[in-house]
Structures are given as structure tokens and as C-alpha cells.
Amino acid sequence: MLAKRIIPCLDIRNGKTVKGINFENVVDVGDPVELGAKYAREGADELVYLDITATHEGRKLFADLVRRISEHLNIPFTVGGGIDSEKDAEILLSAGADKVSVNSSAVKDPGLIDRIARGFGNQFLVVAIDARFAENRWTVYVNGGRIPTDKELFSWAGEARERGAGEILFTSMNHDGTKNGFACDALKALSTALSIPVIASGGAGKKEHFVEVFEQGQADAALAASIFHYNEIPIPELKEYLRKNHIIVR
């Protein structure tokens, strides 16, 4: 069995790390370079940086930030937000990112997945999916969780894998920021159906939730933000707890 990964997520707005609840009420929580270096020292396996207000103007700012991050990190990190083309991916990978993540742009242009995977390799591409459960259906949303689409979580994740995604990062909008636990049933269904790693996002609030997401949800990695940003669950403490519960971690 592969070791399970713990991944702090840093949402970036105008060069600062921010955090919200259910994709709203966003507040500033610190410097992304310093936070990333701190998490690396504490034993995080990877990091995810998402530029949540990516624009053409912000792309250069974010690329400069990615360069600074890469100079201070000794663990892999993924960057995403507003990647609309192979050129955007190339800029961020060249700046030092280990992987890129696409979300809304891939929903609007699924061929983007094929082109990035073909140009850089599946292992460099994460497809992020934000979905909300209502009326017995997981509906995929775009534009930072603001706009519903006609896509459904499981069929879209399967298509993304077929097109060349190396990993799926699934955020349950129902669970995001609530600290009530991950969407384990949906995660188990995704993990069972897909032959690529699934990263769980949305709902981490206590150490038990990580045991649940790895055992019940069968996720390959678990991503969280506020519990790490506010030091509610220190990463070394979390990893020790997982080991005691027979979860293999690095």
C-alpha cells in the first residue's frame, strides 16, 4: 500500500494566503512562502497553491511567487488557478511548480487536459473538481464554486482520467470549511472507479476525520487548510495519530 499523503492547501489572493467557509467570507492568514516552508519543516508531504483570483495581470505576480516558493521548498507543490492554456502551464512549471491543477478551464475546454498531459506528462497534471450534492446528484461547479454546470462529478472525473489527468482533487462544497468531516461516500466511489490517485478536500476538522477519509473514503491523500493555518492540528501530531491508527504515512 502506498503511504497516504497530508497536503496543506494555500489559497492565494493578491500574493497573500487566505481562507473562507463554503467558498465565502475570505480572510487573510499569512505569507505563502513562509507558511509553505513551515509546513515542509513540519512534515507535510506536498503543498497545493491555488490562485483564487487569477487574471491575466495576476499571472505574472503568481509566477514570481511560484519562483520564490520553489526556492524555499524541498517537497513537491502543485499550483492552480486560471490556467487556460498549455502556455500558462509551461510558465508555472518553468517557475518551479511540480504539478499544475486545472479546474474551471478544463470544464469549459476538456481538450485542455489532453493538451497539457500530452505536452508535459500525466504526472504533472491534477484535475480539480468542485462539486455540490443536492437532489441526489453531485453537480460540478466552476468559477470558484459560483456557477453550476451540467456536468456530474463521477462522469466528469472519469472523462478527466481518460483524457490524461494524473490525479483528481475533489472538493465537496457541502463540506468545505465546515470541519464536520470529508465526503467519504463520494470519495470511496471515486477511488473505486478511478485508476489514478484521489485527493480529498473539504471538511477536515479533527484528527479522526483523516482516519475516516483514508479508511472509509479510500482517498490517497487528504488536503486541508484552516486547521493547519490556525495550528488547530499540527502536522507532526496528525501523522503520529495516523500511525497509531495503522494508517501508513511518510
Q: Which domains does the chain have, with CATH numbers?
A: 5-244 (3.20.20.70)
Residue 20: pLDDT band with limits 50, 70, 90: low
Q: Which contacts (CB < 8 Å, 24+ apart) does range 212-216 have?
A: 212/181, 212/182, 212/184, 213/181, 213/182, 213/184, 213/187, 214/4, 214/242, 214/247, 215/247, 216/184, 216/188
Residue 70's beta-bridge partner residues? none
Angle at 6 between CA 50 and CA 195, to 5 degrees: 85
Task: Give me the residue label for grid cell 479546474.
Answer: 103
Residue 128's beta-bridge partner residues? 169
Please name the amino acid found at residue 67.
Answer: R
- Mean pLDDT, residues 81-103: 94
pLDDT score of 21 more than 90: no
- What pLDDT, in 10s, does the model give residues 33-44? 999 999 999 999
Residue 18: pLDDT band with limits 50, 70, 90: confident
Question: What are the residue numbers of the active site?
Answer: 11, 130
pLDDT score of 161 more than 90: yes
Rounded alpha-carbon distances, angstroms, from residue 216 to 10, 98, 162, 209: 26, 29, 25, 10
Bridge pairing between strands 24-30 and 99-102: unpaired
pLDDT score of 107 more than 90: yes
pLDDT value for 15? 81
- What pLDDT, in 10s, does the model give residues 198-243? 999 999 999 999 999 999 999 999 999 989 988 999 999 999 999 9
pLDDT score of 56 more than 60: no
pLDDT value for 213? 98
- Mean pLDDT, residues 166-186: 96
Extract the C-alpha cell encoding 71.
Answer: 526556492
What angle separates helix 32-42 from helix 235-244, to the nearest 10 degrees? 30
Residue 54: pLDDT band with limits 50, 70, 90: low
Q: How far apart are CA 71 and CA 67, in angstroms?
A: 6
pLDDT score of 149 more than 70: yes
